[in-house]
């Protein structure tokens, strides 16, 4: 392993930029992601910075079952994120559609149909600690030795 790679690993492990996109949920999961910012959970002590700009994000938190408006836009957002990138599904909605997966719904879950999902955090909504540990456990798996893993 080259020294450059080692430096990259160290830097990446403490600088994870997170962007979240709500593609049609009850916004309970949105505010639980926001609650991760609170000093009690303090997501920034792990080097995770939450903001809403996909162009500088590493991790995309997808919230919500996909509404018709987002079917094409979600893929656009995913393509705008620079490599290496990873998408995490937060809550039941992107996994199964939660209570919206019934007759008459306008949503079309799961979100895996549109973009690749690396990790899922079930719960309606999940606790901030669960979101935090999911991001922390999935990020190193993707970002460590990213260049060497490329074919």
Partner 1 sequence: MKKTVDVSIPLGPMHPCWKEPVRIKCETAGERVLRAEVELGYMKKGIERIMRGRPWQEVMFLAERVCGICSVVHNMVFIEAMEKISDIAVPPRAAYLRVVANELDRVASHILANFSYCYTIEHETLAMYLLNTRETVLDNLERLTGSRINTAYMIPGGVRFDLLPGDAAAMLADLAKVEEEMKRHVRIFETGPLIALRSKGIGYMSREDAIRAHTVGPTARASGVEDCDLRLRHPTYRALGFTQITRTEGDNFARVMVRFQEVFQSIDLIRKCIETLPDGPIRGGGFCKAGETSYAGEAPRGELTYAIKTDDYGRVIDIAIRTPSVMNIEACAHEMIKDAASIADVTSTFISSDPCIACNER
Partner 2 sequence: MRSIVYYLREFLRPEWIRKFFFAKTAPLETPSYFKDYPSLTGNECVACLSCMMICPAPDAIAVLRTRDGWEPEIYPGHCVRCGLCVEACPEAVLASGRILDVTSRDGTALWSWYRLEVDDTLCMRCGNCCVSCPVNRKIDQQLAGSGTSSSDEVIMRVEGGRVRVIHEEKCTGCKTCELNCPNGAIRVARMVEGVQIAEAEA
Note the residues at the interface with partner 1 (CB under 8 A): 19, 21-32, 34-35, 37-40, 51-54, 64-65, 67-70, 73, 77, 98-100, 102-107, 124-125, 127
Identify what 122 binds: partner 2, partner 1, none; CB under 5 to 8 Å per kind.
partner 2
Could you say whether residue 92 binds partner 2 (CB under 8 A)? yes
β-partners of residue 15 are none
Token pair belonging to 22: 């709500």
Strand arrangement of the beta sheet that strand 48-50 belongs to: 48-50, 16-22, 59-63, 86-90, 119-121
Q: Which of residues 37-56 bind partner 2 (CB under 8 A)?
A: 40-42, 45-46
Q: Which stretch binds partner 2 (CB under 8 A): 48-56, 58-66, 67-75, 94-102?
A: 94-102
Shortest Cβ 66–partner 2 spacing (Å): 15
């Amino acid at each position: 392993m080259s020294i450059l790679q080692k430096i990259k690993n160290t830097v990446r492990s403490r600088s994870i930029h997170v962007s979240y996109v709500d593609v049609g949920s009850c916004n309970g999961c949105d505010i639980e992601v926001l609650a991760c910012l609170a000093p009690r959970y303090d997501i920034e002590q792990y080097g995770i910075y939450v903001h809403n700009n996909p162009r500088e994000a590493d991790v995309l938190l997808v919230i919500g079952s996909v509404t018709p408006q987002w079917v094409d836009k979600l893929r656009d957002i995913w393509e705008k994120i620079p490599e290496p990138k990873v998408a995490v599904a937060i809550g039941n909605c992107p996994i199964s559609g939660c209570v919206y997966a019934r007759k008459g719904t306008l949503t079309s879950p799961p979100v895996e149909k549109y973009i690749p999902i690396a990790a899922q955090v079930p719960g309606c909504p999940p606790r901030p600690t669960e979101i935090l540990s999911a991001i922390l456990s999935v990020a190193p798996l993707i970002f460590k030795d990213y260049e060497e893993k490329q074919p």
